[in-house]
C-alpha cells in the first residue's frame, strides 16, 4: 500500500493511500487542507502541489494539467494526479 507524505503549513503527515486515488481525494479523506475551488475538475489550479519525491509512483501528467499550464516537474494538480503502484510519494501542499 503506498504511503503519501503531505507537508503543509509546517505540518508533515504520512497517510496510507490506495493505488488509483487522486492526491486531492487522499488529502481530503485524511483531513489535509488541499484547496479545490473547482471541485476537483481540473479548472482552477488551487490544488497545485509540489512533488518532492516519488514522482515515478504517480500517473503521467494529464491533458487537463497541460491545458491549465501545469507542464513541468515538480508541479502537479492534486485533483488530476493519481497514485499508481505501491511506491511512496512526498508532496508539498500550498495552503
Judged by the rule CB under 6 A, the positions of this chain that interact with ligand FES are 36-38, 40, 42-47, 77-79
Smallest separation (angstroms) from ligand FES to the CB of 42:
5
- The sheet that has 89-93: what strands, in order across it? 11-16, 3-8, 89-93, 48-53, 75-77
Q: How far is CA 73 from CA 24, 55, 70, in A?
A: 18, 9, 8
Q: How far is the CB of 34 from ligand FES (least distance, A)?
A: 8
- Shortest gap between Cβ of 25 and ligand FES (angstroms)? 11
- Which CB sits closer to ligand FES, 71 or 86? 71
Beta carbon nearer to ligand FES, 17 or 93: 93
Omega of the bond prior to 18 within 30 degrees of 0, cis? no
C-alpha cell at 81: 494526479
The CB-of-93 to ligand FES minimum distance in angstroms stands at 12
Cell numbers for 67, please give them.
Answer: 491545458
Amino acid at each position: 500500500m503506498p504511503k503519501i507524505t503531505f507537508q503543509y503549513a509546517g505540518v508533515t503527515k504520512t497517510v496510507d493511500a490506495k493505488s488509483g486515488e487522486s492526491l486531492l481525494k487522499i488529502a481530503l479523506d485524511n483531513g489535509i487542507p488541499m484547496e479545490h475551488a473547482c471541485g476537483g475538475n481540473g479548472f482552477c489550479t488551487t490544488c497545485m502541489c509540489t512533488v518532492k519525491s516519488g514522482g515515478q509512483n504517480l500517473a503521467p501528467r494529464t491533458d487537463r494539467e497541460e491545458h491549465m499550464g501545469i507542464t513541468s516537474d515538480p508541479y502537479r494538480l492534486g485533483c488530476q494526479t493519481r497514485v499508481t503502484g505501491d511506491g511512496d510519494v512526498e508532496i508539498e501542499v500550498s495552503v
